[in-house]
Chains A and B, each alone.
Chain A
């Protein structure tokens, strides 16, 4: 197929008008395209990526499109991880305020989600600008973006700016939990401690689930305290602390 033909085929496939290798009848189209991609030769795979980038540019130039089609396109572009994709999407995200009605909120979320998951993370300053656009709506995706680059300082400092709802707190707890899992063991306690330090500046509804999560990470602190107490007890009791062995009478005989 020529490049224009691939663009047409991709547009049709993303709209559900082309047969795709699907697991179930209701599977997302982009997953079918990704499956198909695995079976293609390198030239065809490159064409598919170029075609996806072409459609992405078309969408970003106009900032409009049917929601389900754009969501499928963004998922596909995200999965292909083309180096140009994050720049194109970041440019569109910065133009969100100029596109007040034409771009559905679900599409904006998909754009920001694709940016968070992109191959080249954007700096915290970028995400803070996004947050300023619509704090109530974009806060949690901005938090994901910042946590991806600087969880310990910038990430934690963003928590007081989160919307004051239990649901936002639950989402933040999930994000923090995943960051905690990925952190080196020696940084985890400091991370939790810093979070606890800023919770007083957060709204109560938001802080609730985050506090609950941070308290579940406390056993590490308890273990540390326990080991300090144990060593103090050892020093104080001296020989008394040593285990007492019974000598077998048979052995003595």
Chain B
């Protein structure tokens, strides 16, 4: 990095250190272990260039730099990939995804009503067509977890069965009292086997609930259970991937 770029970046990191949300991002950048040196240098250089030239706010510059360095964490060798992956979203988020993917066939409340009706059911009737068309994530990148001890099984039976417990274990962010969560799991191969990567600070952008796994050699990331971890839940495996198809989605899905 040139001295001018370094100066620009250092000044922002000092500024962010006092911010509740960006302070964590700042800390994550200094503890990042999964990015190769060249990618890490490139990420900071692009960030610095944008800071000096784009005229945008530092946060936007950081996010833009991150978007150019997605999925740069080490790839898990295909033979070591878990067979089943899982993720958690709000019920409304997934109903919205179903409604949008249905191309004018269903509305959000209709999708939400059917998800509530068929939670825990193996036969979801006509919803199946629309469920298997909906993307599992948004913005092309999906974060997922798995059960490292039983990689052929759903990760959820080994997690706490409550909304707050799951949120704590997976280190998820903000939750309203009236947010319902949907637990989705899918077969990796049947969903197209997108390469699984260890997450990096670039994948997380400015998401303050992410924390890099401290071990540089660890094959995948680990979640950061929330500080209110009264049950002493262990960090859970964490990977990122390009949007898989939903063809491998497992039934039943659960709503809590």
Residues of A at under 8 Å CB distance from B? 16-17, 19, 21-28, 31-32, 34-35, 38, 71, 75, 78, 105-106, 108-110, 112-113, 116-117, 137-138, 140-141, 144, 167-168, 170-171, 173-175, 177-178, 181, 209, 213
Q: Which of B110, B127, B174 contacts A35 (CB 8 A)?
A: B174
User: Chain A: which residue is nearest B205 at the CB level?
Assistant: A25
Central interface residue in A23, A71, A109, by most chain B CB within 10 Å: A23
Q: Please tell me if the beta carbons of A170 and B100 are within 8 angstroms of each other in the complex.
A: no
**A201 to B126 alpha-carbon distance, docked (Å):** 22
Q: Other CB < 8 Å A-B pairs besides A22-B207, A171-B126, 18 of them? A: A17-B60, A24-B89, A26-B141, A26-B142, A27-B90, A32-B174, A35-B176, A75-B108, A113-B99, A113-B104, A117-B108, A117-B109, A140-B105, A140-B106, A167-B105, A171-B106, A177-B117, A209-B126
Q: Please tell me if the beta carbons of A174 and B110 are within 8 angstroms of each other in the complex.
A: yes
Q: Mark B100-142, 1 if CB is under 8 A from A, else 0.
A: 1011111111100110010000000111011000000111011
Q: Please tell me if the beta carbons of A23 and B179 are within 8 angstroms of each other in the complex.
A: yes
Q: Which of A21, A108, A168 contacts B105 (CB 8 A)?
A: A168
Residues of B at under 8 Å CB distance from A? 21, 57, 59-60, 63, 87-90, 92-93, 96, 99-100, 102-110, 113-114, 117, 125-127, 129-130, 137-139, 141-143, 167, 172-176, 179, 203-207, 210
User: Chain B: which residue is nearest A165 at the CB level?
Assistant: B105
Q: Please tell me if the beta carbons of B172 and A173 are within 8 angstroms of each other in the complex.
A: no
Give min CB distance, A204 to chain B, whole Å.
17
**A174 to B105 alpha-carbon distance, docked (Å):** 10
Chain A residues whose C-beta falls within 8 Å of the C-beta of B139 in the assembled complex: 26
29 residue pairs bridging A and B, Cβ less than 8 Å apart: A22-B173, A22-B174, A23-B179, A24-B89, A24-B172, A24-B173, A25-B143, A25-B203, A25-B210, A26-B138, A26-B139, A26-B143, A28-B93, A31-B92, A32-B174, A35-B176, A109-B103, A144-B107, A144-B110, A167-B105, A167-B129, A170-B129, A174-B127, A177-B114, A178-B113, A178-B114, A181-B113, A209-B126, A213-B125
**A19 to B63 alpha-carbon distance, docked (Å):** 11
Decide: A25 near B179, CB < 8 A? Known: A171-B105, A173-B126, A178-B110: no
Q: Please tell me if the beta carbons of B105 and A38 are within 8 angstroms of each other in the complex.
A: no
User: Chain A: which residue is nearest B181 at the CB level?
Assistant: A23
Give min CB distance, B170 to chain A, whole Å.
9
Q: Please tell me if the beta carbons of B126 and A213 are within 8 angstroms of each other in the complex.
A: yes
Give min CB distance, A50 to chain B, whole Å.
22
Q: Please tell me if the beta carbons of A116 and B89 are within 8 angstroms of each other in the complex.
A: no
Chain A residues whose C-beta falls within 8 Å of the C-beta of B125 in the assembled complex: 173-174, 177, 213
User: Chain B: which residue is nearest A143 at the CB level?
Assistant: B105
User: Chain B: which residue is nearest A216 at the CB level?
Assistant: B125
Q: Please tell me if the beta carbons of B104 and A109 are within 8 angstroms of each other in the complex.
A: yes
Nearest 3 interchain pairs by C-beta: A21-B174, A171-B105, A170-B126
Central interface residue in A19, A78, A137, A174, by most chain B CB within 10 Å: A174
Chain A residues whose C-beta falls within 8 Å of the C-beta of B176 in the assembled complex: 34-35, 38
User: Chain A: which residue is nearest B178 at the CB level?
Assistant: A38
Decide: A113 near B108, CB < 8 A? Known: A21-B174, A22-B173, A213-B126: yes
Give min CB distance, B169 to chain A, whole Å.
14
Chain B residues whose C-beta falls within 8 Å of the C-beta of A32 in the assembled complex: 174
**A23 to B208 alpha-carbon distance, docked (Å):** 11
Give min CB distance, B119 to chain A, whole Å.
15
**A168 to B102 alpha-carbon distance, docked (Å):** 10
Q: Please tell me if the beta carbons of B21 and A19 are within 8 angstroms of each other in the complex.
A: yes
